[in-house]
Structure 1
Amino acid sequence: MNQNLMYFPCLAMMILTVIVMMRMFVMRVLAVKNKDINITYFKTYNTGDAPRLMLQADRHFVNLFEAPVLFYMVCAFSVITFHVDSKMLWAAWIYVFFRCIHAFIHVTSNKITPRMLAYVGSWIALLYMGLSLGYKLLQAAVS
């Protein structure tokens, strides 16, 4: 299988991160423009009550630098070690799918149960990827 195909789920995650960043920026600008917060709020992020949608976008942007870092690591290791196969690639796309659903829910309605299910779905895909890669690397080390 072409190892370079693993780049595209990573690119999709990067695009998702940029979209959430843009949403965060728009929500911040609107909050200041609508006088929901004072621009000085952004000096320390602890003065006054910020609007819910702005906080959700802020929190999700930070979230995209937590678990997804492990996703990028597993993708990179699978490419470097030539262990990208169709199952690994599908799992990567499933991870991206669930992260997109999670992001949409988190920055809009923020309904806890569907958000949690999307988050768990992404972790199942990521765990599959990590364990599968670990098994392949262990097999290669033993043979």
Structure 2
Amino acid sequence: MTTPLAQAIFLPVASLALWTLTVLLLIPIARIRASVAGQVEVNDFKHGESERVPAHVRLPNRVFMNLLEVPVLFYVACVVAFVSQHVDGLLMTLAWLYVALRLAHSLIYLSYNHVIHRLSVFALSNGVVAVMWGVLLWRLLPG
């Protein structure tokens, strides 16, 4: 039987998924605006994004890709924690911290894009997901 706390692990999961979908919406907005402004043509996206595509148009796609890479480890960790009945306050805190850091990373990237700030938040978020996996592996070890 699952507890409300165990089920709550899916709140940070859903939050990050919704943020990812929000960023996904920025891609066509940027591309359509650039097309209307005459900065790009349809064929500039034939094989992804050509060199003609301005950086500000490529940016939402890059942020979206970032939200599909390492976060997979977060999503799987949350499912493993739920299935193995190891959801507790520590894992909930780490899960929400991870989501907050990924949100901060995306917002930095999409706004003022200071590389050192972005890298710092990215590294911290990766550390948090690594700690989540460390905690889970420790708990899953026999004996």
CA distance in 2: counterparts of 1:121 and 1:53, whole angstroms: 25
Partner residue of 1:7?
Answer: 10
CA distance in 1: counterparts of 2:129 and 2:51, whole angstroms: 37
Partner residue of 2:101?
Answer: 98
| Cα displacement (A) at 1:45 | 2.9
Among residues 116, 126, 129, which one is paired with 2:129 in the alignment?
126
| Cα displacement (A) at 1:40 | 1.5
1:101-132 deviation per Cα after TM superposition (whole angstroms, max 9, x unaligned): 00011122221011001101111211110000
CA distance in 2: counterparts of 1:10 and 1:125, whole angstroms: 14
Q: List aligned pairs for 1:25-104, cutoff 5 A.
A: 25-104=28-107
Greater mean deviation of Cα atoms: 93-102 or 24-33: 24-33
| TM norm structure 1 | 0.93
Q: Over aligned residues, Cα RMSD in angstroms?
A: 1.2
| TM norm structure 2 | 0.93
Any unmatched runs of 5+ in structure 2? none
CA distance in 1: counterparts of 2:125 and 2:50, whole angstroms: 34
Q: Letter of the aligned partner of 1:59 in structure 2?
A: R
CA distance in 2: counterparts of 1:54 and 1:108, whole angstroms: 13
CA distance in 1: counterparts of 2:56 and 2:50, whole angstroms: 17
